[in-house]
Amino acid sequence: MLLATPPPQPADPPLAPLYVAGDSHALSPSWRVVRWRGQPRVLVTGLKLWHLRDGADFFPKANFEAAAASLPDGADVVFAFGEIDCREGLLLAVERARYRDLAQAIDTVVDIYIRTLRRLAARRRFNILVPPVLPETRAVVKQFNAALRRAVERASPVLAWLDFFEQLLTPAGDALADGLALDGTHLNPQYVRLTAPRKLTIKPLRTAPKLPANFEQATWAKLLDAVRAVHGKRAVNHSLEELYRGVEDMCVQHMAARTYDKLQAECEAHVEASIEALQTPDTSAFLSLVHGCWSAHCEEMLTLHSIFLYLDRTYVMQSAARRSLWEMGLHSFRAQLSARPEVLAKLRDGVLASIERERGGDQVERSLLAELLRMLYDLGLYQRHFEEQFPSVKT
């Protein structure tokens, strides 16, 4: 897994630091430890997007998470992955009948990739740019890039697609243009300059125009309907762009604090009701219910983050007392779990019982256990409820 900063740029035009996170074919051969312009040594390995799926514990995923963790919050990052999938992973998976056809395989791994990037954008406030896979001249790569582009554009403005690849090709589009002496796989140094105008930028608050007297009430009603649709797993009645602009207008009109408070209250009420519904006498079913509740909460917060992105990247970042939208969601979930010790006790006992069954030779859902332990870790509850009280249990 490679993570490196670009070489120093000329003062004119000035460029902010741009980080690149890519698989082993982004900038360097695989299985080597490299030092990039004095940066700490980083292990370079390969990564298939399938490795990023929930519940996976293969080492490339750990390398990916460690690389992302080393980036500063709010960084501009190019995530360049997918080449290994296109070269061998996708076709091999189809050949082994893991997927119906190539289209299904591509859609599956692209969905895993996009979900991972959206989580990073929400948790770390990264400005994420996604380039196409090189070389675009291969048929599998073309199909993959088309699906990836559609997915990134659906996730806009949280993710930004780098749509300049055709500038690197010959007029016929069948090879890299002359002067770009690459091997057809490695990341082109031109990316640094070509990405500059395409970074996601949240501009400072503009001058507030005069609006109708009922603007706040009407706009919040529209946003509230969207929030409740997300929580209720219903179709949202308005487009993401319309909702995003509504949030932007609320912030410009100095209504950001009230908007944040209303959103927080709505999310807290929903989380409270969701955790209150975790009722079943069957231990295995209970673990699945908790996992489902947590997974739904994370997906809902990612969707709300897309809608309220302007609020998160302007007002919240300028307010030290305010949690980011992602942290606000974590706090609500943690508070509701902590307020119900019987739920935590049942969760703890269920996880420990599953671990003991596995030690005894029984088959258990290891991915479910891994996700539940990761949930407790993310919520800051793992050490208190597992490591300290049960030091003999290690997973």
Break the chain into its structural domains and give their ranges.
Answer: 2-198, 215-387
pLDDT tens-digit map of 178-208: 655 445 445 445 544 544 545 545 555 455 5
pLDDT tens-digit map of 206-264: 555 567 889 999 999 999 999 999 999 999 999 999 999 999 999 999 999 999 999 99
Q: What pLDDT sits at residue 31?
A: 41
> Mean pLDDT over all residues of the chain?
82
The rounded distance, in Å, linking the Cα atoms of 306 and 115 is 12
Angle between helices 139-154 and 102-124 (to 10 degrees): 40
Q: How far is CA 119 from the centre of its chain?
A: 2
Q: What pLDDT sits at residue 174?
A: 67
Give the tokens for residue 201. Answer: 């930028």
Angle between helices 240-252 and 283-307 (to 10 degrees): 60
Model confidence, pTM: 0.75
Whether 113 has a pLDDT exceeding 90, the answer reads: yes
Tallying the residues shown for the chain, one arrives at 395
pLDDT tens-digit map of 28-69: 444 444 455 555 555 556 788 988 988 787 888 888 898 899
Q: Which CATH architecture has domain 215-387?
A: Up-down Bundle (1.20)
Whether 10 has a pLDDT exceeding 90, the answer reads: no
Q: What is the CATH number of domain 2-198?
A: 3.40.50
